[in-house]
Amino acid sequence: MNDLYARHRKVMPDWLALYYDDPLEITHGEGRHVWDAQGNRYLDFFGGILTTMTAHALPEVTKAVTEQAGRIIHSSTLYLDRPMVELAERVAMVSGIPDARVFFTTSGTEANDTAMLLATTYRQGNTVVAMRNSYHGRSFGAVGITGNRTWSPTSLSPLQTLYVHGGVRTRGPYADLDDRAFIDACVADLRDLLGQTRPPVALIAEPIQGVGGFTSPPDGLYAAFKEVLDEHGVLWISDEVQTGWGRTGEHFWGWQAHDRNGPPDIVTFAKGIGNGMSIGGVIARAEIMNCVDANSISTFGGTQITMAAGLANLGYHLEHDLQGNARRVGGLLIELLRGVTAGLPGVREVRGRGLMIGIELVKPGTDEADPAAAAAVLEAARRSGLLIGKGGGYNTSALRVAPPLTLTVAEAEEGAAILGNALRGTYGDAPGSTY
């Protein structure tokens, strides 16, 4: 056990998860690569859980942070904050929400808690509909709307949460249906639920479930849901903490794959906008955002240094068409991963969009989740110089691949080759192989 790990265990809670049998200390990074304390170099295909969205040590962001730190780092929202207003203007502009208002937080968890505050205040109730296999954060309120048992340590909640089908296309009671029939069945499930309870205040959903293993419904599901929600006066909240800012390639926001009836009522975001700086937030039309009738502030949400980083990062993102790069290089990476996993007995599915790709693993010859294999592949990939993530609602058996959006074709090819070797080394090439 290394010294830092021993010290970590003495002062940190046991439930604070660490990857790897020998946990990794990352000391610095550049572009799509990071280095550990022993000087080993890794191709980073996880970006601090999709947070280093653009690149490590991006000069434009580093310069903006340094210059802002030399002026003032923080003052709270009690004072006018030029970088916060400027970033809010840009976020409102790209949100797709009419008459949008933006409130900045420090994390996706806090953003989703704020969305719950807005929805329950606006609609005067405390019942929420969420998706099965979902994840919305680690706070008491966010855990209460999380539909993934692995990440939900308590059933206590300030909210009454009801769960519907639809977030996982290839498992569950509707998995064998075609896309149209799948959507119809999920809509019928939602209608049935709403017919048997007091009207909920909102439905919250991730367009692609992040911690759940990068699963998603067919395009159009949430538009079909919105038709039903509108009949009952129920708000739609799109949790874009992982899907926002063009990561899916085809769209700037994940909800745009379902936009037949326009944008959600509320959008939450975090992670990639700060390229590693702590930024989260909520976007809603003015009548919803302004429904809170008590005083409120944010001590650290919207602080000048994080807003400077967000402005520089979003500017770079838009100027260099990183959404387009996610579409092009992400599409290539998905095909490469499907190629290197073809015929492997433990690979159930390679799925995803843009640079948000999941590889679900099962025990060979079964449909049973294989978390031990996922852990083994994670270790093997690290030994070969590649960092990836894992997740899934079925005992954490999905590998998560989400590189920075500046990923090059050569890096995509390198990462896919390493991951293919790690999978072959774990499962072997012959059907029925074990690890």
Domain assignment present for residue 432? The answer is no
Model pLDDT for residues 354-413, shown as the tens digit of each residue:
999 999 999 999 999 999 999 999 999 999 999 999 998 767 799 999 999 999 999 999
Please give the share of the chain, as a percent, with pLDDT higher than 90.
Answer: 88
CATH of the domain at 402: 3.90.1150.10
* Alpha-carbon distances of 289 from 115, 128, 278, rounded to whole Å: 9, 18, 22
Say if residue 67 is in the same domain as residue 143. yes
Say if residue 20 is in the same domain as residue 107. no
Say if residue 93 is in the same domain as residue 32. no
Say if residue 29 is in the same domain as residue 71. no
Task: State which of 319, 350, 378 marks the end of a domain.
Answer: 319
Residue-number span of the structural domain to which 50 is assigned = 3-57+321-427
Say if residue 181 is in the same domain as residue 280. yes
Task: State which of 319, 350, 373 marks the end of a domain.
Answer: 319
- pTM for this structure? 0.94
Secondary structure (H, E, C), the chain:
CCHHHHHHHHHCCCCCCCCCCCCCCEEEEEECEEEECCCCEEEECCHHHHCCCCCECCHHHHHHHHHHHCCCCCCCCCCCCHHHHHHHHHHHHHHCCCCEEEEEECCHHHHHHHHHHHHHHHHCCCEEEEECCCCCCCCHHHHCCCCCHHHCCCCCCCCEEEEECCCCCCCCCCCCCCHHHHHHHHHHHHHHHHCCCCCCCEEEECCCECCCCCECCCCCHHHHHHHHHHHHCCEEEEECCCCCCCCCCCCCCHHHHHHHHCCCCEEEECHHHHECECCEEEEEEHHHHCCCCCCCCCCCCCCHHHHHHHHHHHHHHHHCCHHHHHHHHHHHHHHHHHHHHCCCCCEEEEEEECCEEEEEEECCCCCCECHHHHHHHHHHHHHCCEECEEECCCCCCEEEECCCCCCCHHHHHHHHHHHHHHHHHHHCCCCCCCC
**Total tally of structural domains belonging to the chain:** 2
Say if residue 225 is in the same domain as residue 339. no
Whether pLDDT at 210 is above 50: yes
Task: State which of 319, 347, 367 marks the end of a domain.
Answer: 319
Say if residue 223 is in the same domain as residue 354. no
Say if residue 22 is in the same domain as residue 69. no
pLDDT at position 429, please? Answer: 54
Domain assignment present for residue 435? The answer is no
Say if residue 304 is in the same domain as residue 385. no
Compute the distance between CA of residue 260 and CA of residue 267 in angstroms, rounded to an integer.
17
CATH of the domain at 131: 3.40.640.10
Say if residue 219 is in the same domain as residue 180. yes
Model pLDDT for residues 309-350, shown as the tens digit of each residue:
999 999 999 999 999 999 999 999 999 999 999 999 999 999
Compute the distance between CA of residue 173 and CA of residue 415 in angstroms, rounded to an integer.
35
Whether pLDDT at 283 is above 60: yes
